[in-house]
Amino acid sequence: MRNTFIGRNPSILIFLAVLAVFTIAITFMSEAFGAGVISTSFVKTLGKTLCLALVAVAMDLIWGYAGILSLGHFAFFGLGGYMIGMWLMYERTKEIVAGSMAGNPIPPTEQEIVDGIGTQIFGVVGSSEFPIIWMFADSLFLQLALVVLVPGLLALVFGWLAFRSRVTGVYLSILTQAMTLALSLYLFQNDSGLRGNNGLSGLQNLPGVTASQDFVSIWFFWASALALAVGYIFAAWIVSGKFGSVIRGIRDNEARVRFLGYSVEGYKLFLFTVTAMIAGIAGALYYPQAGIINPAEIAPIASIYLAVWVAIGGRGRLYGAVIGAVFVSLVSTFFTGGQAPDINLGFYTIQWVDWWTILLGLSFVFVTLFAPKGIGGLFDLIADRRHPDRHGADLGPDKGSLQEREATE
């Protein structure tokens, strides 16, 4: 057992158990399958939170393990959302257009329907033509493939250019941030082909599905939980073996890894691309639950939030990333959703909607300075108490009187 994958990483089992219990509990409390204790919109919030946890795992791989502070992973997340959003919007609009044309005295031709969809979708940006990037929008399979291929390809090209030139540290962070900003500014333009600042909307409606949002929300919740479980196991597998050794080596001393004969650039590129794909999948599950995606989602601030979650949760441990993303994004929902009561100081009223970002910023500074292990570091305290690894040293008071070995036999 000690040498198996799970045996070496007992935290995986604990994580999966917690996730399973959580998923089942929420299912039985939902409006669709149980008591209706929690609202459908809160189920969606929780499902979205699981997607954020998945992208945080990807961020932890690239930042916590390989030491590359990427401020671009939310761009990959958004691209994944756009890719699935194109299919959802196309098919949904097709249903509506075909429905309204069905009453016409002359049945509409295929081209008329496509033109009708184009007018519906692109009317807001003053166009009715389908841009070339929508050429696969009628195929669910191809758009699902694009969910991983588009972020993956962008990461591959960008990473190849950046890593090959040996851009590292804060310069690489700035470069990734510039990429994110450029992408978001491009998408804001009306002629980008993705409806400019309107973004894609109505994504919560699944084409051909008549079930109510109560059910759709719980399906997406399950899918998000499954994706997080699979993504977590995959990430744990990547970091558990020699590959994990090498990337942690790159984080701690890049030059040394190079002189050991490993192509540092190749490893970085591989990890950058794989994590971008994971981010794309997370985004493709997130935005149908959010219902809308627009370029503001891709703005650099989102990627910075991602780094803050991972830092607060604990870098270099996968469950830390999950805890950080879940904790901070739920607390953030609480404060920005108007649920937190205002504090009246007499001369000034603290409104949490405005002050939450300041609180978050302060806690980020606090964690960085005083608790670099983050929330996940708390688990070390418990783990150390339970397994005092004394390397066989005697427990005293007389030498050899209470050896560790005797206690276990």
Which residues contact another protein by CB under 8 A? 238, 241-243, 245-246, 248-249, 252-253, 255-256, 258-264, 266-267, 270, 391
- Nearer to another protein among residue 222 and residue 270 (C-beta): 270
- Nearer to another protein among residue 273 and residue 294 (C-beta): 273
Give whole-number Cα distances, 395 to 82, 254, 383, 408, in Å.
60, 40, 19, 13
- Nearer to another protein among residue 152 and residue 193 (C-beta): 152
- Nearer to another protein among residue 179 and residue 264 (C-beta): 264
Shortest separation between residue 173's beta carbon and another protein, angstroms: 22
Shortest separation between residue 252's beta carbon and another protein, angstroms: 6
- Nearer to another protein among residue 19 and residue 274 (C-beta): 274
Shortest separation between residue 317's beta carbon and another protein, angstroms: 12
Q: What is residue 335's three-state secondary structure? A: helix
Spatial CA neighbour of 72 closest among 214, 161, 181: 181
Shortest separation between residue 264's beta carbon and another protein, angstroms: 7
Token pair 């040996």: residue = 166
Angle at 191 between CA 188 and CA 193, to 5 degrees: 85
> Where are the alpha helices (H) located in 102-212, listed in sequence order?
110-122, 140-164, 169-188
- Nearer to another protein among residue 42 and residue 270 (C-beta): 270
Q: Name, in order, each residue with C-beta under 8 angstroms of 18's C-beta and a sequence gap of 6 or more.
A: none
Q: Name, in order, each residue with C-beta under 8 angstroms of 263's C-beta and a sequence gap of 6 or more.
A: none
Shortest separation between residue 168's beta carbon and another protein, angstroms: 14
- Nearer to another protein among residue 153 and residue 246 (C-beta): 246
Shortest separation between residue 242's beta carbon and another protein, angstroms: 5
Determine the Cα–Cα distance for residues 366 and 354; give it in Å rounded to an integer: 20
Shortest separation between residue 265's beta carbon and another protein, angstroms: 8
CA end-to-end span of the chain, whole Å? 19
Q: Is the dihedral of CA 5, 7, 13, 15 positive or negative?
A: negative
**Cβ distance 323 to 376 under 8 Å?**
yes
